[in-house]
Structure 1
Amino acid sequence: MSSRLRALQIKDCQALKEFVLFENNDKFKTEQRSWAPSLTKLILLGCPHLEVLKPLPPSTTCSELLISGVSTLPYMEGSSGEKIRIGNIDEYEDDDFDYTSDELRTLDDKILMFPNLKNLKSMVIHGCRNLSSISLKGFSYLVSLTSLEIRNCEKLFASDEMPVHTLEDVAPANCRAFPSLECLSIDSCGIVGKWLSLMLQHAPCLDELYLSSREEENSEEEENPEEEDNSVSNHSSSSEDTSSGNSDDRLARDGPSHIPLNLISPLKRITIKRCPHQTFNWGKEGVSGFTSLEKLIILDSPDLLSSLVHTNGRWFLPNSLGKLKINGHSKKTLQPCFPSDITSLKKLKGLQFLGSLRHLTVHKCPDLPPYLESFSRQGYTLLPRLETLCIDDPSVLTTSFCRHLTSLQHLKLTWLEEVRLTDEQEQALVLLKSLQELQFNRCSALVDLPAVLHNLPSLKSLKNELSLQALKLQNIYYCIM
């Protein structure tokens, strides 16, 4: 029967203790092969006394697997080739079955038939409160696994000492526990720094890392756009306001986690939240050495931010960075900067912390003016020391943000499509009393220079990188001081 059986479903068999198909034997253990090679559907529900002594899934072609209320196994749902969930999955809770997984202590080859999961792409381990270790050797069989999410496993990797079997698992030089892993998410777990470093070392293809010491209701990507303005003011609070009383901040208390050299190139997204004691050994170049990094979010993790900032407050970021969101650090000492003028920054939260920023270039950001205006309505004085501003949207001139740029000396307007500035924009330009240089770059449609240039007392230079033939020359005399 085991070789031909395609579907097996057992429900509400309260008295069932044994089933011949699930009994263990030495032959299976030595050969490590599928014990039901044709089984594509296995459902076991509400059998509290049934002993399943063979690992799951039973075959590489199992497309439907659902285990709940079985004493020897945790809750499991998924398939051999797509996604498997293990443990307490809140959205699947049901009064009829026991979904708890408190007895699961080790996720190894007694629970999972790892060779049958070589096509698995995603795994979620959730709510296994007594789970203390996983088999790194077993995970090395999951050559197609690209996403691993571990949540609410309080004891997982919490010990400072590594078991002997773990060291033996990773001893071979060519052993990779997570050979194809691209996304690693660890939330509300007890993992300490040395364990995290080991996992990262064995994930050479990782491009997204998410760490949090306390589970949150909504992920970063699910934020409500309508609440964007409110989130700006909320993120200015100190880490003590959000992390006080948090008993689940064990992440990496044993010392800084090490980011191995194999991850410096591929990592694209890093999110670290509510890890007040977390620090990383980023290498001599810090986070600027991660040349592929596109998103960096660090919230309520003051020690981590402090470890990234040099003694003079400068924090070098990679030019590839497109999104930056931070809080929990003094705005007087934090000075984010890029190695060169050309960056990929597209989204920035926590702008009020950039009090020392002197040069800002913004291109193709149509939502910037209302965003800056929202800051002004909340009472923020942004970028008070800004000296150079390069923009391609003259409407920024009319915002409260631009009116308070009392240190601005150089203004560069690029790629303007209008023939002239509006009257409102010209009047706003007059408020820049410290402006010394005004430059138009690649503004082929521009016909008239601003008629109020003579009202700029500090203006010394007017530049236009295109030919002046298109301009009405009678306006130029205003620039002669």
Structure 2
Amino acid sequence: MFLYFHGDMKSSLRVLEIQSCNTLEVFDLFQKGHNYEIEHKPWLPNLRKLIVYNCPHLQVQTPLPPSAIFCELLIRAVSTIMEMEGSSMETLKLYKYELPREMMALDDKILAFHNLRDIKYLEISWCTNLTSISFKGLSQFISLKSLKIVECTELFSSDDVPQQTHEDMLTTNDAALPSLESLRIEGCGITGKWLSLMLQHSLTLKELYIDHCPQLKQLKIEEEGKIQSNLLSACEASSAGYLYDASRSSVRASSGYVEDTQTSSAIDGLVHIPLNLRKITIDGCPHLIFDGSRESFAGFTSLEEEVEEDDQENGRCLFPQSLEQLIWSDYSQITLRPCFVGNLTCLKKLKVKSKSLEYLQLDSCRSLEDLEIVFCNHLVSLEGMQSLGTLRSLELFNNFRLESLQLHSCTSLESLEIRYCNSLVSLQGLRSLVNLKHLKIVESAAFYSFSTVENYEPIEGILSHSYELFPALESLEIDDLSPLNMSFCKGLTCLRSLKFTDLDATRLIDEQERLLLLLRSLQELQFKYCWEFVHLHAGLRGLPSLKTLEIIHCNRISGLPKEGLPPSLEELVIDECNDELSEKCRSLATSKLAVKIDGSYVD
């Protein structure tokens, strides 16, 4: 079966759908078959929707898409061409999940590059038989901002650069991707030479993400204008530098360093990185080393975010002033001290995750706003907190050996989260947190009370303070009832949300019930994973502003207080509780009270 279009039909066609045509073999709009010579003009100029689905024997003998104004494109289950999916002339996805039959190149015989000038997002995934992409074709993607290549194991996997590619490079004037801002390559066999070529032709690139590309062997930072001259020549390489550890998604320094003036034979997989990038993420490249001085990252004058840099001598690591975000994973040294060129910094966000780190020095991070320290199981000292007057958010998670925390200078802190820091026995400066709005304390019981055991110094915690503590607090999540004392509750005049998580108690004692009534502004109350909790407090009805009550994974609670619920309540949520409680709550649903049980609202 053959499909042809004649005369005015081609110019007037708007929508074309071909589905489940097992006998259709040829789709040739020009009736020229394999002798068709591609012209760079739309062959269905007004077509806006093209769907070809489940036509296993169909041969499409013209490049796709057929027009430059398509709003929907879907090609799937057509064995002779790769699958395509596009929408609104902005997004195009190319993918092929079947095992490859033969190696192929993405050129103008397959893709109508000239019809894709407005494409902004291009993704090429699982094209395991794709070996190359036409640079001349790429140069027609003048609006492309984001390019993502995933699991194309053969794509650019050979260091041999065809003569045609060299010719295409000359015609594209070093800007095959003139608008590209983000390049993401995952699980691909791309070599350093080809990646360097792509970077050379992406003059506006801001973000580079590389994940599990085993052929990449060495990074070399290049000043603007020097990449092209170094690409195809022998590359200088130091005998040691930075080794990327794929299993831990990190970068690790080797023991020695040789100045760049010392040369060696060209290293396969050399990647030339331009200095104008703002964000670099490298993960899972087991053989990658870094060719440059120990302070070379400081040369990135535009760098705003860097992920997973690692292991400098004495913990001192120098970064550019422009760096705004730094994520440090699996650091192998015991000391870490980020430093910045000229002692000036724009660093606003820092995340540290390390099983080896013992000492973290933050005195140089004077612009820091967001600090996250997670899974630092050996961290015993967090130094330089006195420099963090701009800090707004602090999260400590699974830092089992951390014993003390100084918060006197953190007057701008708005969010504090401490979870699973069981050795934290000294919290200093809680009175200084006058702007704190959100507080979450779980499995860090030392925060709550001071020790009365003989021969022990008192631990500064909530119970050791007067009611002036946290005057701006809006949300509180705790796993202990001991903070519910008169001085603490009386000061929480702004509290909107109170969440109890993992309580060991079976109920609130009478004094605690009375104290909860002091929270006149409370709008949300939640009990979650309180396995032993049996009774909700009788004074619940006395909370005048309560709008939401949530009971989640509390299997022993079988009923609500006899006194009833607050008249102000607007939503009651019951999730994964016993059937008796669920049935009682189901009958409470009214036009004023929404009842949600196990994820569904009661009609």
What range describes the TM-score normalised by the shorter chain of this pair? 0.5 to 0.7
Q: 1:119 to 1:8 in 2, by over 3 A?
A: same
Query: What is the aligned partner in structure 1 of residue 288 from structure 2?
Result: 278
Find out whether 1:85 has 2:93 as its counterpart. Answer: yes
SS in 2 for 1:21: coil
The 2-side partners of 1:416 and 1:102 are apart by 61
TM-score scaled by length of structure 1: 0.64
SS in 2 for 1:389: helix
Q: 1:323 to 1:424 in 2, by over 3 A?
A: closer
Query: What is the aligned partner in structure 1 of residue 23 from structure 2?
Result: 15
Query: What is the aligned partner in structure 2 of residue 258 from structure 1?
Result: 272
Q: With CA pairs under 8 Å and 6+ residues apart, which has the higher RCO, 1 or 2?
A: 1
Query: What is the aligned partner in structure 1 of residue 43 from structure 2?
Result: 35
Report the CA distance between 1:101 and its aligned residue. 6.1
* Alignment: residue pair count: 363
Query: What is the aligned partner in structure 2 of residue 448 from structure 1?
Result: none
2:70–2:87 contact (8 Å) kept in structure 1? yes
The one-character-per-residue Cα deviations of 1:154-194 (angstroms, maximum 9, x if unpaired) are 01111121122111211237242111001100000000111
Report the CA distance between 1:379 and its aligned residue. 4.6
Query: What is the aligned partner in structure 1 of residue 307 from structure 2?
Result: 297
Report the CA distance between 1:136 and its aligned residue. 0.7
Query: What is the aligned partner in structure 1 of residue 189 from structure 2?
Result: 190
Report the CA distance between 1:416 and its aligned residue. 8.1
* Larger-Rg structure: 2
Structure with greater helix share of residues: 1
2:386–2:408 contact (8 Å) kept in structure 1? yes
Counting only pairs closer than 5 Å after superposition, residues 43-192 of structure 1 correspond to structure 2 as 43-79=51-87, 81-88=89-96, 103=102, 105-172=104-171, 174-192=173-191
Query: What is the aligned partner in structure 2 of residue 465 from structure 1?
Result: none
1:193–1:255 contact (8 Å) kept in structure 2? yes
SS in 2 for 1:132: strand
2:391–2:410 contact (8 Å) kept in structure 1? no
The one-character-per-residue Cα deviations of 1:32-63 (angstroms, maximum 9, x if unpaired) are 21111111111111111111111011111111
Q: 1:178 to 1:47 in 2, by over 3 A?
A: same
Moved more, 62-71 or 285-294: 285-294
2:295–2:317 contact (8 Å) kept in structure 1? no
Report the CA distance between 1:382 and its aligned residue. 2.9
Find out whether 1:359 has 2:367 as its counterpart. Answer: no
Structure with greater strand share of residues: 2
Q: 1:341 aligns with which of 309, 334, 343?
A: 343
Find out whether 1:331 has 2:341 as its counterpart. Answer: no
Query: What is the aligned partner in structure 2 of residue 462 from structure 1?
Result: none
Q: 1:241 to 1:66 in 2, by over 3 A?
A: closer
Counting only pairs closer than 5 Å after superposition, residues 203-282 of structure 1 correspond to structure 2 as 203-213=202-212, 239=245, 241-242=247-248, 254-260=268-274, 264-265=275-276, 267-280=277-290
Report the CA distance between 1:75 and its aligned residue. 0.5
The 1-side partners of 2:272 and 2:279 are apart by 17
> Residue 115 of structure 1 aligns to which amino acid in structure 2?
H
Q: 2:387 aligns with which of 378, 386, 390?
A: 390
> Residue 333 of structure 2 aligns to which amino acid in structure 1?
K
1:336–1:354 contact (8 Å) kept in structure 2? no
2:331–2:353 contact (8 Å) kept in structure 1? no
Report the CA distance between 1:145 and its aligned residue. 0.5
1:69–1:75 contact (8 Å) kept in structure 2? yes
SS in 1 for 2:386: strand
The 2-side partners of 1:305 and 1:423 are apart by 36
The one-character-per-residue Cα deviations of 1:276-330 (angstroms, maximum 9, x if unpaired) are 21245568962212222221112xxxxx857xx5x77643211222221233553
Report the CA distance between 1:4 and its aligned residue. 1.6
1:140–1:175 contact (8 Å) kept in structure 2? no
> Residue 274 of structure 1 aligns to which amino acid in structure 2?
G
TM-score scaled by length of structure 2: 0.52
Cα RMSD (Å) of the superposition? 4.2
The 2-side partners of 1:415 and 1:329 are apart by 29
Q: 2:322 aligns with which of 302, 317, 320?
A: 320
The one-character-per-residue Cα deviations of 1:366-397 (angstroms, maximum 9, x if unpaired) are x75xx56x778x452135xx57832438999x
The 1-side partners of 2:23 and 2:391 are apart by 77
The 2-side partners of 1:166 and 1:191 are apart by 15
The one-character-per-residue Cα deviations of 1:444-479 (angstroms, maximum 9, x if unpaired) are xxxxxxxxxxxxxxxxxxxxxxxxxxxxxxxxxxxx
* Runs of 5+ consecutive residues of structure 2 not aligned to the other structure: 1-8, 215-243, 250-265, 414-427, 434-449, 451-456, 458-603
> Residue 142 of structure 1 aligns to which amino acid in structure 2?
F
Report the CA distance between 1:19 and its aligned residue. 3.2
